[in-house]
Amino acid sequence: MVTETQTNAARGIVRCEKVLPVPPSTNGLFATIRTPHGGTRRIPTREYNDWRALAGQLGKPWPRYSEDKRNHIPWTLHIVAWNLSRRRDIDNTIKAICDLIVTHTGLRDSWLDDLAILRRWDDGEARVLLRLEVRGIAE
């Protein structure tokens, strides 16, 4: 899988591009289990855990940013979903991808300023292309 990172220090912009396997649908990310005391709890499914581990490895290196919650670092995410089944909702890819980015970069999902999702087809396998742009970075 392709990983590319470019930095424009003069403008405080970092761009990176990654090609990853298609994540599980948002509907299949978590399972609800009963607790011994009659309550319920949500846990990640095996499929989601497997995808997170694989995508995290394939996406390396991930740029790291300040985990100081006071620093607002705006970021943009463009997703191109290649060969995604027409029966699948295209917006069911967002949560897993955003969670992966937050886990590996230190960015917060509440800082996401711009999101675009495109569906495309070719003769290749199903995959997602992530274009991440982070602005306002002091080098």
What is the pLDDT, as a whole number, of residue 34?
93
Please give the structure tokens belonging to residue 137: 């970075």
Confidence of residue 139 (pLDDT cuts 50, 70, 90): very low
Residue from 27, 28, 3, 31 nearest 15 by CA = 3
Confidence of residue 47 (pLDDT cuts 50, 70, 90): very high
Burial class of residue 38 (count of CB atoms within 10 Å of its CB; 0-12, 13-18, 19+): exposed
Q: Which domains does the chain have, with CATH numbers?
A: 3-135 (3.30.1330.70)
Contact between 125 and 1 (Cβ < 8 Å): no
Q: What is the mean pLDDT of residues 107-118?
A: 91
Which is it for the CA torsion 4, 62, 31, 112, positive or negative? negative
Q: What is the mean pLDDT of residues 90-119?
A: 91
18 pLDDT above the threshold of 80: yes
What is the pLDDT, as a whole number, of residue 3?
52
Q: What is the mean pLDDT of residues 58-84?
A: 84
